[in-house]
Amino acid sequence: MCGIVGYTGNKAALPILIGGLKKLEYRGYDSAGIAIGGPSAFILRRCKGKVSALDKLVSSEKINGKTGLGHTRWATHGQPSEENAHPHTDCRGRIVVVHNGIIENYIALRKKLKAKKHKFRSETDTEIIPHLIEEKLKKEKNLLKAVRKAIADIRGSYALGIMSSDEPGTIIAARKDTPLIIGLGKNENFIASDIPAILKHTRDIILLDDMETAVIKPDSVAVFDSAGRTVKKKISRIRWNPSMAEREGYRHFMLKEIFEQPRAIQDTLRGKLNPAKGYIHLEDIGLTVPYVKKIRKIFIVACGTAYHAGMVGKFLIEKMLGIPCETDIASEFRYRSPVMNKSDLFIIISQSGETADTLAALRMAKKRGLKTLSICNVIGSSAARETNGMIFTHAGPEIGVASTKAFTTQLIALYLLTLYLGRIRGAIPRQEAVRIMTAILNIPQQIRLILRKSKAIAKTARKYSKKRDFLYIGRNLNYPIALEGALKLKEISYIHAEGYAAGEMKHGPIALIDKDMPIVAIATAGGVYEKLLSNVQEARARNGIIIAVANTGDKNISKSASDVLCVPVTLEELSPLLNVIPLQLLSYYIALYRRCDIDQPRNLAKSVVVE
């Protein structure tokens, strides 16, 4: 996720901005830039790559301005490049803007501004903002009023830092759905997207709330609500050390990322679903309607956790669309001489977009003439560049090696794709699409309800943290979730764990069950619920310890299970999105009690870029 830092005061802004950007590097980014107020115009420096490259770029210059903005960009609209890096300016270069978030209606706004002779230099959605402000200043007398009029035209999410050469020493801040804080100092003040950027300089902060704007000067801060009324804000004193601050107070990045999933899912869904009309909007999918209607088969290829997401996708596509679908591990797909046809759709799933085996499989499919689609979290990645279309998951960078929010946003992308194809092909009636969309939009809040029970899940984890073997079982859509739960436990706790289709227990795994074997059973409501209960009874009859993931209020499973991890009721098709959350938390807390290196488990890397 992008990073923002801003400063106005009596010191040189440059070293403060560069230092702040370096503190935000953990968030992940692909370009960086700064804008500093000069005697007559802004000094603007941007580059593709790391903050160190930006630092090198400006190190030989004398840049003494005392007000400035800095930004690290994680590409969404437009490839990583100097032109697409922030800050962005208006036509005259008198307004500069840094932005975190997504402007959903930027295409329409850009078209209107172009009609008014505005000149654009980048591919980004952000660049429309300084041009909008420039346009509003034709009628408004000051920057704040122009900003408030401009953001009223914007649909989407934003954390904004804005400066104008006509109001030197002033930074305007605005927030909607994306974090932004104000740091308070003596004759100096700051803005930042996250506390680490400014913790060296101040521990007193104000948290901006949605739809608030602020005027920040060296000796004053004024905050306003959406109606323009002054708001009296609480000043919070930060007592974290810098290392803790980077994790926003969470003990590990993995835990932080588990708790970020409601936000990540909302961001991935934003602007894509319209239940009122039964409409799904996938802007960059790259597939024409005639082609979609002729798809005969779908291949989904991925590795690790992404492969488990693909397995859920296979169930969805075959059940809801009636299209044959194969899911393959990328490293195996390349060597099995798959039979492919030009009417087939080839989909890869990759968090980084740089996984070597997945890219090799993609290139093989392209040589065979197939249309290709990527589900990816990095817009400028090889996967995004080399496929015909892309569904971008707005998870933000994952720092913990064990994937959590990347997985659930990949699932969301697969639901969006299934609905999109189903509506075009007539396989999903409008009423059914509306029913599913409505339920999907409830998922973030339902995940929040599960996260509120994390302490209870931690108690369960403590009971079993010294066990040496676990068995995870699930059926149908939740068989891949059993595999994913077992993988999470293996990755971060180093406990041997296996995921199985529950119906396979009598074909071997049941021989392993005894009084020391915990069996994690995914037993939420659905068409195979009763069969899963029978599998649980078989395990219990052999003295197995049952840990069940079940719907809140399920009295049947509570009779058989030693522990129940409760999740809300949702549509059976959507149950994987909820059922995986307690499994992530169970793995995390077991690893915590075993004192494992949770964020960087041994022998593992975040992205496998070599075969």
Q: Annotated active-site positions, please? A: 2, 606
Write the CB contacts of 498 (distance below 8 Å, at least 6 apart in sequence).
470, 471, 472, 486, 509
The values of phi and psi at residue 356, to 5°, are -60, -50
Burial 409-425 (b: 16+ CB within 10 A, else e): bbbbbbbbbbbbbbbbb
Q: Which two tokens stand for residue 605?
A: 């890397």
Instruction: Write out the DSSP string of 366-432.
Output: HHTT-EEEEEES-TTSHHHHHSSEEEE-------SSS-SHHHHHHHHHHHHHHHHHHHHHT-S-HHH
Half-sphere exposure in the Cβ direction for 405 (13 Å, CA): 27
Write the CB contacts of 123 (distance below 8 Å, at least 6 apart in sequence).
77, 78, 79, 83, 84
Q: How many CB atoms lie within 10 A of CB 174?
A: 25
Distance CA 530, CA 514 (A): 23
Q: Which two tokens stand for residue 468?
A: 């040496």
Distance CA 544, CA 536 (A): 9
419: closest CA among 452, 391, 381?
391
Indicate the SS3 state at residue 177. strand
**What distances in angstroms separate CA 1 from CA 46, 157, 179, 386, 394, one per listed residue?**
18, 13, 11, 23, 9
**What distances in angstroms separate CA 51 from CA 20, 195, 314, 397, 460, one per listed residue?**
10, 18, 41, 16, 43
Q: Which two tokens stand for residue 302?
A: 């991925």
224: left (phi over 0), alpha (psi -120 to 50) or beta: beta
Q: How many CB atoms lie within 10 A of CB 351?
A: 30
User: By the 8 A CB rule, do 542 and 437 touch?
Assistant: no
User: By the 8 A CB rule, do 215 and 221 touch?
Assistant: yes
153: closest CA among 172, 177, 136, 178?
136
The values of phi and psi at residue 304, to 5°, are 55, -130
Distance CA 372, CA 386 (A): 8
Burial 538-568 (b: 16+ CB within 10 A, else e): bbbeeebbbbbbbbeebeebeebbbbbbbbb
User: By the 8 A CB rule, do 3 and 72 touch?
Assistant: yes
Q: Given CA atoms 220, 226, 231, 233 in this order, what sign does their dihedral have?
A: negative
**What distances in angstroms separate CA 470 from CA 491, 497, 514, 524, 581, one per listed residue?**
13, 5, 11, 20, 18
Helices (H) and strands (E) in the chain, counts: 20, 27
Q: Which two tokens stand for residue 598?
A: 């949770």
